[in-house]
Chain A
Amino acid sequence: MLKSEAYAKFSGAPLTVNTINNSWRAPKGDLPLLVSEDIVISQPAKILNFLRKQRYNADYDLSAKQGADTLAYIALLEEKLLPALLHTFWIEAENYCSVTKPWFASRIAFPMSLYVPGKMSREALNRILLTKGGPPLYSLTEVEAQIYRDAKECLNLLSKRLGTSQFFFGDTPTTLDAFVFGFLAPIYKVCFPRVQLQEHLKQLPNLCRFCDDILTCYFRLTVSGHSPAGQDTADANLQKLTQLVNKESNLIEKVTFASVSLILLLCCGYLFTDILAWQLQLYSGLYFNYFFSSELCCVERREEYYIIWKAELMKPCSKKVFLIQPKDHCLAGVHSNTRRSGIFTQAHIQQRKGGKCIGQNSENFLQIKTDHQLSLLSVACCSN
C-alpha cells in the first residue's frame, strides 16, 4: 500500500487515498486497489506498471543497468525482509493482539473484523512456513530465528548500498526507493511491543534518515500522520468497539480451549478406567493377587511405566519375579522379594541368581521402558 502511494507521489501522479471499510467489496479481497476510470488493478507491482504506462514514470532517468538493479533489490526485499515483516505484524503474538488486530478490526466493519485479521494472519503464517520452513528447520522458533537473521542481513545490505546518498540512485527517488520505503516505514514507525527489527533498523542511521526524508518531503507529516500507525484512535466509541472485539475474540478462544481440554480429560478418563478394568480382570483369582494389586498401584503412581492394555500375565516360575508380557509392548515388571516395582535392565536381570525365573521357560523378547529408553530384552529363563 505504502509502495504504491510513495511511487505515485514520487512520479507526481494525482492519487486520492480512500480507506475502504468493507474489504469484501474489493473484487478478490485484495488491497491495495487502484481504480482508474474503469480499470481495476490490485497488486503493487502491477499498479506501478500501470502508472508507468500512463507516463507517470519515476524511473525515466535510470540507466538500463540501474533498472536491472532495481529488480534485483526488489527481489531481495521480498525474499528476505517480507517474511520478517509479516511475522512482526501478524504472527508475533503480542504484536498481533495489541496492535495489528485492533487496528485492522477498527477499520473493518463488524463482523468481518472477526474474520479478516485471522485470515490474514493464517495466510502470513502459511506463506512463511511454506517458503522458509522446510527441513532442517523444524520448529517455528527456528524458522523465526532464521527469518529475523535474514531480515537483519538484508537491512545491513540496504544500508551499505545506500551509503551516504539521499536516494538509492542519485538525487531523485525511483521505484526502488518506493519499495524500500514501503517496507521500512512500517517497521520504523509503528510502535510494537516486540521490536527487535525496529531496534536493528535504528542502528542504521542512513536508513532512518532515508525514511524521515521521504516522510517529510513527500508525505508532509511528522510522526504518525496518515501512515497506518494506529494507536491514536481518539474516538471513544471506537475504543469501546475495539475492546469489545478483543473481548469477544478472547471469549471464543477461551471457549475453544475449555472444550478441547474437556475432550482430552474425557479421553484420559476412559483410558484409566480401561486400565483399571484390565488390572482387576487380570489379577483377580491369582493367589498373589494381594501382592500384585498393591505393587501395581505403586507402578502406576510412579509413572515410570506405561501400562499397556490387554496384557497377559506370564505364569511365573518362581515367586520372585513376575513380568507382565503384553501383546504389543511390554511394560511393568515387579519384583516380589523386595516388594518393589522396578525397571529391569538387561544387566540387572542377568545378575540375579537362583530361582530367578522371568517369564516362561524359554526365550522371550520383551520391550521394557526404562527411565530414558526403550530397550529390547531377550530374556532367557532358567528352569526352576
Chain B
Amino acid sequence: MCNLPIRVICRANAEYMSPSGKVPFIHVGNQVVSELGPIVQFVKAKGHSLSDGLDEVQKAEMKAYMELVNNMLLTAELYLQWCDDVTVEEITHPRYGSPYPWPLNRILSYQKQWEVRRKMKAIGWAGKTLEQVLEDVDQCCQALSQRLGTQPYFFNKQPTELDALVFGHLFTILTTQLITDELSEKVKNYSNLTAFCRRIEQQYFEGHDKDSCTVSVQSSKKSSLLK
C-alpha cells in the first residue's frame, strides 16, 4: 500500500530466521525486522507512512482496532488451527510438518501445539468451545463491519495500517480450506467486509507481480495459503 516493491519467499524455517521468533519479517539490506508493529515503524522511519493524515483521536482509534483484530481474530485463528482436534489432525499437523522428514514433522508440530495450548490457557481461551470462539469472531466482524460502514477504507479515502491488518486476516480466513467453512461463513455474512477484501486485492495485488525487488518479505504458511 505504500508502493514499496517486495518479494515474498516461503521458507520452512521462517520462524527460526526471524529475530523475534515470529513471522512475518522483512529483510532489507542487512536489517531484519519482524512483526507488524516494528515493520510499520521501520517503514515510517524510512519516510513512508500511511497514517500521517490522521489526528490523535483517530490514531488512538486505529490502535484500538488493531488490538481488537489481534486479540480476537488472531487468537481465534490460532485456536482453530491448534486447539480444535479435528482440524489439527487433518490439516495443521501435515501442513506444519511437511518440509521435514518423519519423525521430525510430528515432534515439531506437537511442540508447537503444546506451546499454543499453553498460551491459550494463560489467556483463558482454553476453556472455550468452538461455538464460543466463532461467536467471538462474529462479534469482532460485526464491530469491523459497523466501523467500515459504506466507506472504501476504515479511515476515509486512504488506506492505513488497520486496513492492511484487517485485509491480511480476513483474506486468509476467506481463502483457507478447512474441514468446515464456519469461520469463513461468519465473515461472509458481512458483505461490506468481503467487498473490502476484494477491492484491496484487485487494487494492490494483481498489478504487482512483475516488480523488481529491493525488499524481500519472508513469510510462512499464511502466504503459501494465499497462493
**Residue B143 at the A interface, CB < 8 A?**
yes
User: Is A68 a contact of B146 with CB atoms below 8 Å?
Assistant: yes
Shortest CB–CB separation between residue A354 and chain B, in angstroms?
48
Q: Is B36 an interface residue (CB 8 A)?
A: no
The verdict on A278 contacting chain B, using a C-beta distance below 8 Å, is: no
Q: Are B122 and A127 in contact (CB under 8 A)?
A: yes
Q: Which of B68, B119, B144 interacts with A130 by CB under 8 Å?
A: B119
| Cβ–Cβ < 8 Å partners of A161 in chain B | 57, 60-61
- B15-30 contact mask (Cβ, 8 Å, vs A): 1 or 0: 0000111100000000
B-side interface mostly: helix
CB–CB B64/A75 < 8 A: yes
Min CB distance A75 to B, Å, is: 4
Residue of B nearest to A137 (CB): B20
Q: 1/0 contact trace for A74-89 toward B, CB 8 Å?
A: 1110111000000000
Closest approach, in angstroms, between the C-beta of A152 and any C-beta of chain B? 13
CB distance from B105 to the nearest CB of A (A): 23
A43-B124 Cα distance, complex, nearest whole Å: 10
Which of A74, A75, A161 has the most chain B CB atoms closer than 10 A to its own CB? Answer: A75
- Kindly list the 6 A-B residue pairs having the minimum CB-CB distance in the complex, ordered from nearest: A68-B143, A75-B68, A72-B64, A157-B60, A64-B146, A76-B64
A67 to B21, CA, bound (A): 35
Q: B45 on the interface (CB 8 Å rule)?
A: no
A76 to B68, Cβ gap below 8 A?
A: yes
Say if the beta carbon of A199 comes within 8 Å of chain B: no
Cβ of A220 under 8 Å from chain B: no
Question: Is A196 an interface position by the 8 A CB rule?
Answer: no
Residues A160 and B142 in contact, CB atoms below 8 Å apart:
no
CB neighbours (8 Å) of B60 from chain A are 157-158, 160-161
Q: Which of B22, B56, B122 contacts A134 (CB 8 A)?
A: B22
Assign chain B's interface to a size class: 20 to 34
Q: Is A111 an interface residue (CB 8 A)?
A: no
With a CB–CB cut-off of 8 A, which chain B residues contact A74?
68
Which residues of the other chain, B, contact A193 by a CB distance below 8 angstroms?
none
Q: Is the CB of A75 within 8 A of B22?
A: no
Q: In the complex, what distance in Å separates the CA atom of A43 from the CA atom of B128?
A: 12
> Is A131 interfacial (CB 8 A cutoff)?
yes
Q: How many residues of A contact B (CB 8 A)?
A: 28
Docked CA distance A28–B65 (Å): 32
Q: Using Cβ atoms and an 8 Å threshold, which residues of chain B touch A352?
A: none
In the bound complex, how far is the Cα of B72 from the Cα of A75, in angstroms?
8
Across-interface contacts of A67 in B (CB, < 8 A): 143, 146
B20/A134 in contact, CB under 8 A: yes
Return the CB mask of A104-130 against B: 1 if under 8 Å, else 0.
000000000000000000010011001
**In this assembly, does A135 line the interface, its C-beta being within 8 Å of a C-beta of chain B?**
yes
B147 at the interface (CB under 8 A from A): yes
Chain A contacts to B: CB under 8 angstroms:
43, 64-65, 67-69, 71-76, 78-80, 123, 126-127, 130-131, 134-136, 157-158, 160-161, 163
Q: Judge whether B139 and A71 touch: CB under 8 Å.
A: yes
Chain B residues positioned under 8 Å from A135 (CB to CB): 19-21
Residues in B neighbouring A69, C-beta threshold 8 A: 61, 64, 147
B139-159 interface code vs A (CB 8 A; 1 in, 0 out): 110111011010000000000
B203 interface contact, C-beta 8 A:
no
| Shortest distance from the beta carbon of A78 to any chain B beta carbon, whole Å | 7
Least Cβ distance of B109 to chain A in Å? 19
Closest CB in chain A relative to B129 CB, distance in Å: 13
Chain A nearest CB: distance from B116 CB in Å?
A: 10
Q: A78-B71, A79-B71 in contact; A160/B56 too (CB < 8 A)?
A: yes
Given A75-B68, A76-B68, A79-B67, answer yes or no on A131-B146 (Cβ-Cβ < 8 Å): no
Residue of B at shortest CB range from A69? Answer: B61
- The verdict on A72 contacting B20 (CB below 8 Å), with A67-B146, A130-B118, A130-B119 known, is no
**List of B residues within 8 angstroms of A78 by Cβ:** 67, 71
B85 to chain A, nearest CB (A): 22
Whether the pair B20, A68 counts as a contact (CB closer than 8 A) is: no
Question: Is A71's CB under 8 angstroms from B140's CB?
Answer: yes
Q: 13 A-B pairs, CB-CB below 8 angstroms?
A: A67-B146, A68-B147, A69-B147, A72-B147, A76-B64, A79-B67, A80-B67, A130-B118, A130-B123, A135-B19, A157-B59, A161-B57, A161-B61
Report which of A123, A134, A157 forms a contact with B21, defined as CB distance below 8 A.
A134
Residues on the B chain within 8 Å of A71, using CB: 68, 139-140, 143
Contact B119 A75 (CB under 8 A): no
Indicate if the CB atoms of A79 and B70 lie closer than 8 Å: yes
Contact between B119 and A131, CB atoms less than 8 A apart: yes
Contacts of B124 in A (CB 8 A): 43
Within the complex, the shortest CB–CB distance from A270 to chain B, in Å, comes to 35
A contact residues around B63 at 8 Å (CB): 76, 157
In the complex, the answer to whether B144 meets A68 with C-beta atoms within 8 Å is yes
